[in-house]
């Protein structure tokens, strides 16, 4: 499930999980998606810390708030 290929902006896609490379080092594993104006991200680091984010009425892929939230949650602590 963790065999992935790069798809851009720090994301790598695989047969079951996506990997996101944190700008401060380390990796998150999970999945994101969007449908009918909603954007979701659910990711977890191997040490057990997790992040789940939902944007209602999303007009784009929500990457900017996702990057800000992961930076705050994982890189500033």
Phi, psi of 72 (to 5 degrees): -70, -40
Domain ranges of the chain: 5-75
Residue 69 pLDDT exceeds 90 = no
Collapsing DSSP to helix, strand or coil, 64 comes out as helix
* Average pLDDT in the chain: 87
Q: What is this structure's pTM?
A: 0.80
pLDDT tier at 7 (50, 70, 90 boundaries)?
A: very high
Both tokens of 65, joined, read 């708030």
**What is the arithmetic mean of pLDDT over 18-43?**
89
């Amino acid at each position: 499930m963790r065999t992935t290929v790069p798809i851009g902006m720090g994301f790598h896609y695989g047969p079951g999980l996506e990997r996101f490379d944190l700008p401060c080092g380390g990796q998150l594993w999970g999945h994101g998606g969007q449908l009918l104006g909603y954007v979701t991200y659910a990711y977890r680091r191997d040490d057990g810390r997790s992040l789940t984010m939902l944007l209602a009425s999303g007009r784009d892929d929500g990457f900017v708030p996702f990057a800000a939230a992961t930076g705050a949650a994982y890189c500033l602590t």
